[in-house]
Amino acid sequence: MMRHGRYPFIVGFLIVPVTIYVTFVIAPYLQAFYLAMTNWRGVSANPKFIGLDNFQRLLQDDIFWKAIRHHGVLLLVLPLVAIAIALVFAFLLNVGGGSRGGTLRGVWGSNFYRIVFFFPQVLAVVIIGVIFRRVYAPDESGLLNGLLGVFGIDPIPIMADRNIALFAIIAVLVWQAVGFYVVLFSAGMASVPKDIYEAAVLDGAGRASMFFRVTLPLLRDTLQVAWVYLGIAAFDAFAIVQVLSIEQGGPDGATTVLGMEIYRNAFSYSQMGYASAMGVALFFVTITFAALTLRVSRRETIEL
**For residues 81-106, average pLDDT:** 73
**For residues 188-209, average pLDDT:** 69
**pLDDT band per the 50, 70, 90 thresholds, residue 173:** very high
Q: Is the dihedral of CA 125, 127, 132, 137 positive or negative?
A: positive
Give the integer Cα–Cα distance in Å for 302 and 82.
25
Report the CATH fold assignment for 52-296. MetI-like fold (1.10.3720)
Domain ranges of the chain: 52-296
Query: What dihedral angle (degrees, nearest 10) is formed by the CA atoms of 186, 298, 279, 73?
Result: 70
Which residues pair with residue 232 across a beta bridge?
Answer: none
**pLDDT band per the 50, 70, 90 thresholds, residue 104:** low
Whether 100 shows a pLDDT value over 70: the answer reads: no
Give the integer Cα–Cα distance in Å for 156 and 142.
10
**pLDDT band per the 50, 70, 90 thresholds, residue 2:** very low
Give the integer Cα–Cα distance in Å for 184 and 187.
5
Give the integer Cα–Cα distance in Å for 58 and 55.
5
Q: Helices (DSSP H) in the chain: which residue ranges?
A: 2-21, 27-35, 53-59, 62-94, 110-118, 125-135, 143-150, 165-190, 194-202, 207-210, 216-218, 220-234, 238-244, 258-263, 272-296
| DSSP track, 98-153 | EEETTEEE--TTHHHHHHHHHGGGGS-HHHHHHHHHHHT-SSTTSHHHHHHHHTTP
Give the integer Cα–Cα distance in Å for 272 and 262.
9
* Span 280-304, pLDDT tens digits: 999 898 888 888 887 776 654 444 4
5-9, 60-64, 193-197, 201-205 — which is least confidently predicted?
201-205
Whether 84 shows a pLDDT value over 60: the answer reads: yes
* Span 224-245, pLDDT tens digits: 888 888 988 888 888 899 998 8
